[in-house]
Amino acid sequence: MNAMRHVLAVAGSDSSGGAGIVRDIETLAAFGVKASVAITAVTVQTHDHVQQVDAVAPDRVAQQMRAALSANPIAAIKIGMLATSATIAAVVTVLADYPGIPVVLDPVLVSTSGRALLTPDAMDDLRELFRSCTLITPNLPELSVLAAPAGTTSSDSMADQARSLLTAGAKAVLVKGGHGDGAESIDILFQADHAGQSFASPRLAATMRGTGCTLASAIAARLALGDTLSMAVAEGKAFVHRMLRET
């Protein structure tokens, strides 16, 4: 069994199955990768309403991560909903002991239905986590919140906002264009000392919940399988496009 690649998903549960850990496990399975999990929060959700969020105790999140990392040869870590600043701090502590494992962070801030999935006071802690990450995958609204001091939003260009996350310590930032407009959905990968690299796919009318979870998990799966970052992003984006086409 250990010949298979393992990815650790650090994420919240979503009772509707539309997002969160269910999406992560489905995506990892589609790439032939085994999933280990550390649940950060239990959420009660339908497809259009988040009814309840219960954060798991931060120590328990860290214990789940350490148990998964000792049980399996984890080749990549995907992080989604973190719920609170104390949980972020716990995750940072664990990651510090595993500097060689690539980490993909989907910076989940709010649900599509508008419920906060990370407490607003946790933005600075989230920026601290960037230093431990190989890749961060914000959408456009998340990028403008993350690029600005707490309580404000940035009016810088998208590229300047992305580069400010690199300055904050991220090794790479993939800005997702799904919330933009135009005939193509264009994601742009920013890395220090590189020109931005674009990944385009035709924009589809279909919408699907959990696309952020799916993309970040797909990229983590491909990194675990040995892809370079830009190969992993291309494969991940193609996978999300196929899923949207089949919706």
What percent of the chain is helix, strand and coil (3-state, nearest 5)? 40, 25, 35
Binding footprint of ligand PLP on the chain (CB under 6 A)? 11-12, 14, 19-20, 43, 80-81, 108, 111-112, 117, 209-210, 212-213
Q: How far is the CB of 100 from ligand PLP (least distance, A)?
A: 26
HSE value, Cβ hemisphere, 13 Å, CA-based, for 201? 19
Max CA-CA distance within the chain? 49
Closest residue to ligand PLP using C-beta atoms: 20
Residue nearer to ligand PLP on the CB measure, 21 or 162 = 21
CA-based R_g, the chain, Å: 16
Residue nearer to ligand PLP on the CB measure, 133 or 191 = 133
Distance CA 211, CA 213 (A): 5
Q: How far is the CB of 41 from ligand PLP (least distance, A)?
A: 7
Q: How far is the CB of 167 from ligand PLP (least distance, A)?
A: 25
Q: How far is the CB of 14 from ligand PLP (least distance, A)?
A: 4
Residue nearer to ligand PLP on the CB measure, 43 or 161 = 43
Residues 6+ apart with CB under 8 A from 114: none
Residue nearer to ligand PLP on the CB measure, 116 or 231 = 116
Residue nearer to ligand PLP on the CB measure, 48 or 121 = 48
Residues 6+ apart with CB under 8 A from 125: 85, 88, 89, 92
The answer to whether 71 and 33 have CB atoms below 8 angstroms apart is no
Q: How far is the CB of 39 from ligand PLP (least distance, A)?
A: 9
